[in-house]
Structure 1
Amino acid sequence: MQTRPLGTGGPQVAPLALGCAGMSDHTAPVDEADAIATIHTALDAGVTLLDTADFYGMGHNEDLIRRALRNGDRGKALLSVKFGGLRGPDGAFLGIEGRPAHVKNALAYSLRRLGTSHVDVYRPARLAPDTPIEDTIGAVAELVQAGYVRHIGLSEVGPETIRRAHAVHPICDVQIEYSLFSRGPETNGILDTCRELGIGVTAYGILAHGLLTGTYRQPAGGDPRAHWLPRFHPDNLAANLTLVDRLRPLADARGVSVAQLATAWVIARSRERGSIVAILGARRPHRVEEALATTDLGLTDTDLRTIEEAVPADAVAGTRYAAPLMSLLDSERGSQPSHQTHGHGE
């Protein structure tokens, strides 16, 4: 598989990364054997970057990855770990923490759960409201110097924060939601700033939480996600599924699924927007195998324009998240909703 650099000073990685969150934090139970087989399928195919967080399943996800890598596979994997999300015993979200002491304490536990002497990319999951980003990144930089961390990343931060962090220590990549349904990074300066500074982008939510799979259908009783994902609210859902339908003939013409086309679009955006890696959230091996086919799809610039004309950025109905969650995102500060935004639950 062809690789690309994750930022100017980062490691070489495949255009696809494996997001492991759904193996631990999901409403439907996941068979551990399936989850481990999914990780092995990705590694065997050359997908090296595994994305996790210490709060995914309150440590369960890191334990799971350790078990998947126990037979000598650690050398095949690059571990990207997020920290800072605080959760209670009931799983409730309690806030964001970025103080230097927390940074170092969190890594100590992550290293133990992962069964490794270092992580390859370490990043705050969100910008902590009461800690300057310079202090948080400074603490991670000390961990780099000590050999516990190889590279530093960021997640869901805006251009100003990216520049401030990069001034403390070179940033490898910024993790951001980016898909045909979430085009904000193109217009709010995030992608431009990353390209200017030689920082890579790891794009998550590439299938819009399931809307871009091409197989999603509205449940008869409504989708419980609608209260925190406004794009699933009935006032927005019909319009969004109409956009998905516009992609079907384009996907059929290439002999791929809508999900594969949407994934290939994200990967192909590297030509114009710099080094972009698509994070695939998968829980079963066949999902990895389907996504791998997109790396050879070879979308042309004309193909990209046709896809973007079918799904204009300003046609998507609803904001990414309900207002309380949007307020936590430094990446969304100053952003204005581009279309109707029925935020029930806001």
Structure 2
Amino acid sequence: MKLVKFENEEIPPIAFGTWSWGTGANGGDAVFGNHLTERELRPVFDAAMDAGFNLWDTAAVYGMNASEMILGSFIKERDDVLISTKFTPRMAGYNDNAVEEILDGSLNRLGVDHVDIYWIHSPEDVKRWTPKLIPLMKSGKIKHAGVSNHNLEEIKLASSILAEAGLKLSAVQNHYSLLYRSSEEAGIIDYCHENEIVFFSYMVLEQGALTDKYSAKNPLPSGTRRGEAFSANVLAKLEGLMKVMRKIGGKYNASTAQIATAWSIAKGTVPIIGVTKTSHIEAAIKAAKVSLTAQEIHDLETAAKETGVEVRGAWENPMH
């Protein structure tokens, strides 16, 4: 497995997301229609670690602590796990000490004394929240700082605030997929590459819409956020893209999900893939080995554009 350079260390080419782990507000049941417990998820965690995928992405807001608690139960007495979690500004209210307090809650649930990447989850007030990372980075509670759902101007502002304290912005995490290339079009991915910032892409599979598991005749779970975003009408528009993905997948003996993941790696990003089954780990192992040609990347992007589909999360601002 080809590792990715992350400042003075290396990380796997794919990170695993735990948004759908556990139930509760913003949790697996409400967003994905899942009801997953530790017993079901433990083999998934073990299979990932055995394969060398040791970077796990979570957030206090996922299931309101549930995701972090499940992950924390798996990493007890291990020192080979890299943890990425988040401060969500809307959880803070008027509390100026919210970043430290929410981080401490995360550390407690995860059972660790530091996190490898700590993200400011949304750009509500970059000038207010970014400086709060500085003492936590200097104390060692945060190893690397990242920002998520920020546009280019907001990323540059956060980076300059940290730079004034002699610190670096190490990572950006935005929605990025064949259907949603806003971060690329806005110059964010180029900026990251030029400044040695690792770009993490989430929703690469568009919450299942690019996995070929769903179609107009077999839609996503109703009553869920992803089911509403990708209705039967929207899924019908994706058929041309799915055809191209299947054709390219045939060459590599790979699924459409693996092709979508391989595409995001080929674009110089680290995809964050939600994992709920051991088969997802096997799929990631394969996706990391697929090396798409320039023509295949062009064909995928052309077919994606022709769908006319672009689904942005309710929490996301336009990138340009």
The residue number in structure 1 matching 2:243 is 245
1:19 and 2:11 are equivalent in the alignment: no
Paired amino acid for 2:2: Q
Partner of residue 142, structure 1: 135
- Look up the match of 1:305: 298
Report what 2:66 is aligned to.
60
Amino acid at match of 2:57: D
Distance 2:16 2:319 in 1: 28
Offset, 1:301 = 2.0
- In the TM superposition, what is the alpha-carbon distance from 1:243 to its structure 2 partner? 2.1
SS across alignment from 2:177:
coil
1:163-202 alignment, distance < 5 Å: 163-169=156-162, 170-202=168-200
Rounded to whole Å, the distance in 2 between the matches of 1:226 and 1:239 is: 20
Q: Does 1:80 align with 2:84?
A: yes
The alignment's TM-score, normalised by the length of structure 2, stands at 0.88
Q: Is the 1:211–1:241 Cα contact (8 Å) retained in structure 2?
A: no
Q: Which runs of 5+ in 1 are unaligned?
A: 87-94, 271-275, 335-346
Question: Which shifted more, 214-223 or 176-185?
Answer: 214-223
Instruction: Say whether the 8 Å CA contact 1:173–1:200 is kept in structure 2.
Output: yes
> RMSD in angstroms over aligned alpha carbons?
2.3
Equivalent position amino acid for 2:54 in 1: T
CA distance in 1: counterparts of 2:301 and 2:137, whole angstroms:
40
Q: Taking structure 1 as reference, are residues 227 and 122 closer, same or farther at Cα in structure 2, changes over 3 Å only?
A: closer
Q: 2:309 aligns with which of 309, 312, 317?
A: 317
Shift of 1:135: 2.8
In structure 1, C-alpha distance between the alignment counterparts of 2:94 and 2:281, rounded to whole Å: 33
2:123 — aligned with what?
A: 127
Aligned residue number for residue 343 of structure 1: none
Q: Is the 8 A contact 1:206 1:266 kept in 2?
A: yes
Tell me the equivalent position of 1:43.
49
For 2:89 and 2:276, locate their aligned partners in 1 and report how far apart those are by CA, in whole Å. Answer: 22
1:280 corresponds to 2:273: yes
Match of 1:92 in 2: none
Q: Which amino acid aligns with 2:38?
A: E
Secondary structure of 1:122's aligned partner: strand
The answer as to whether partners of 1:230 and 1:320 remain within 8 angstroms in 2 is no
In 1, distance between residues paired with 2:219 and 2:176?
Answer: 29
Equivalent residue number for residue 113 of structure 2 = 117
**Partner residue in 2 for 1:273:** none
CA–CA distance in structure 1, aligned partners of residues 219 and 11 of structure 2: 42
Distance 1:146 1:224, change over 3 A: same
Alignment-mate amino acid for residue 20 of structure 1: T
Distance 1:223 1:241 in 2: 19
Q: What CA deviation, in whole Å up to 9, does each residue of 1:53-107 have, x standing for no partner?
A: 001111111111111011x32x211110012165xxxxxxxx6759641101101
What CA distance in whole angstroms lies between the structure 1 residues aligned with 2:290 and 2:284? Answer: 10
* 2: CA distance, partners of 1:284 / 1:295: 17
Instruction: Supply the distance in 2 between the matched residues of 1:99 and 1:174 (Cα, whole angstroms).
Output: 25
User: For the residues of structure 1 that align with 2:233 and 2:300, how far apart are their CA atoms?
Assistant: 24
What is the number of equivalent residue pairs in this alignment? Answer: 307
Gap change, CA 1:261 and 1:168, over 3 Å in 2:
same
User: Hey, what's the Cα distance between the residues in 1 that align with 2:295 and 2:220?
Assistant: 37
CA drift at 1:20: 0.9
Stretches (4+) displaced over 4 A: 95-100, 219-223, 225-231
Q: Is residue 329 of structure 1 aligned with residue 316 of structure 2?
A: yes
Give the Å deviation of 1:230: 6.4
CA distance in 1, matches of 2:189, 2:114: 28
Deviation of the 1:228 alpha carbon: 7.0
Say if 1:135 and 1:10 are closer, same or farther in 2 by CA, change over 3 A.
farther
- What's the counterpart of residue 266 of structure 2? 268
CA distance in 2, matches of 1:222, 1:117: 39
Q: For residues 212 and 220 of structure 1, what CA distance do their matches in structure 2 show?
A: 13
For residues 234-261 of structure 1, the C-alpha deviation after alignment (integer angstroms, 9 at most, x for no partner) is 4433112332233212211221111111
Determine the C-alpha separation between the residues in 1 that align with 2:193 and 2:240: 33
- Within 1, Cα distance between the matches of 2:216 and 2:122? 31
Aligned residue for 2:165? none
Aligned-partner SS, 2:209: helix
- CA shift, 1:217, in A, is 2.7
Shift of 1:146: 1.1
Alignment of 1:91-106 (within 5 A): 100-106=96-102
